[in-house]
Amino acid sequence: MGYRDHPVQRRVPVWGSNSALMMLVIVNVLVFILMHFMKTIYGLSRLPEASFYTDILAWFTLPADPSAFLTRPWSLLTSFFTHMQLMMLLGNLMWLWVFGYILQDLAGERLLVPVYLYGGLVGALTFLATMNLIPSMQPLRPQAVLMGATPAVLSVAVAATVISPKYRIFPMIGGGLPLWVLMLVFALIDIAGISGAGTLFYVHLTAALTGFLFARGLQRGVDASAWMNRMYDRVTQWFQPGRRTVRPRRARRQEVFYNTRGQEPYIRKTNVTQQRVDEILDKISQRGYHRLTDEEKDLLKRASEEDL
């Protein structure tokens, strides 16, 4: 079953300790608090406000000047976790929460962080390229910096929309609003916010394209997040030797497990539960019976026989 066939999959433990979405939100909020805490310390110490920007904030934002970037290459990562304006932070977290939750619901939480990182990194590299290769941008290079999670959030939003553009939100409004409509609203707001800033247009465009390519790869069976998740599993095992590594999605597919001496193979069957039946019925109402897998049809048949 491809990712595009999942209008409803499962409920994600958003508030759970292992939630990738919650982790991204917390990191963005903590960096924001840290920046303003340090700025307050500078103010109480009667130090010039400009000193805070050069001594502290400059080490988290991405500079356009190559010589400055070489002194802090980690800013490729920290730049899309750093905010100084409260409204920008709240706007990014709102869109991240909406589209991140949907992406987790569609494809699992192990894909969310890689999509966010890919979008942020591609956006950061685009910023460096445009500021240094486009002649009209070069005079602005010494003072130009990049920060904010918008490129990364755009990547998440586009990936979720491409995986299931007909995913319904706000079901109480006329049967629900297709996800592509919300994506269009987000795109229009973003374009209005960066009008006149040519560099940011390219940054956001390439980040959105990254989310598109990531989702299309998933639909073709190519998981660009696999190497990140393997690395994460190895690192966590160093600190938790007894922790069991999560098997890749492909290895967890429901297949024939064992067959010897002509015996019938053992096939794992999903337990019939009311929640699973409800999910299948939701899928039928949104996509039609013909989009069910053989396993889902079998489960629905067993449910009717058991009078669940």
Q: Per-residue pLDDT tens for 58-114?
A: 999 999 999 999 999 999 999 999 999 999 999 999 999 999 999 988 888 889 999
pTM: 0.73
- pLDDT level of residue 232 (50, 70, 90 thresholds): confident
Residue 137 pLDDT exceeds 90: no
CB 284 within 8 A of CB 8: no
Q: Which two tokens stand for residue 225?
A: 């997040």
pLDDT at residue 288 in the model: 57
pLDDT at residue 16 in the model: 47
Backbone phi, then psi, for 177, in 5-degree steps? -105, 125
Segment 215-239 mean pLDDT? 88
pLDDT at residue 278 in the model: 73
3-class DSSP state for residue 177? strand
Lowest mean pLDDT among 198-202, 261-265, 279-283: 261-265
Instruction: Read off the DSSP letter of residue 247.
Output: P
Q: Measured between alpha carbons, how far is 144 from 193 in angstroms, rounded to an integer?
A: 18
Q: Where are the alpha helices (DSSP H) in the chain?
A: 20-44, 49-55, 66-71, 75-78, 86-107, 112-133, 150-163, 179-193, 198-219, 226-239, 274-287, 294-305
What are 253-256's contacts with CB under 8 Å, separation 24+? 254/295
Among 68, 195, 58, 197, residue whose Cα is nearest residue 137: 197
Q: Which residues pair with 168 in a beta bridge?
A: 178
CB 6 within 8 A of CB 164: yes
Q: Measured between alpha carbons, how far is 163 from 105 in angstroms, rounded to an integer?
A: 11
Q: Measured between alpha carbons, how far is 205 from 180 in angstroms, rounded to an integer?
A: 17
Compute the mean pLDDT over every residue in the chain, rounded to the nearest whole number. 81
Among 9, 253, 235, residue whose Cα is nearest residue 108: 9
Q: How many other β-carbons are positioned within 10 Å of the β-carbon of residue 29?
A: 14
pLDDT at residue 259 in the model: 41
Q: Measured between alpha carbons, how far is 307 from 35 in angstroms, rounded to an integer?
A: 59
Q: Measured between alpha carbons, how far is 15 from 12 in angstroms, rounded to an integer?
A: 9
Q: What is 3-222's CATH topology?
A: Rhomboid-like fold (1.20.1540)
Residue 206 pLDDT exceeds 90: yes
Q: Measured between alpha carbons, how far is 301 from 307 in angstroms, rounded to an integer?
A: 10
**First vs last Cα of the chain: how many Å apart?**
25
CB 292 within 8 A of CB 301: no
Q: Hey, where are the domains in the chain?
A: 3-222, 255-305
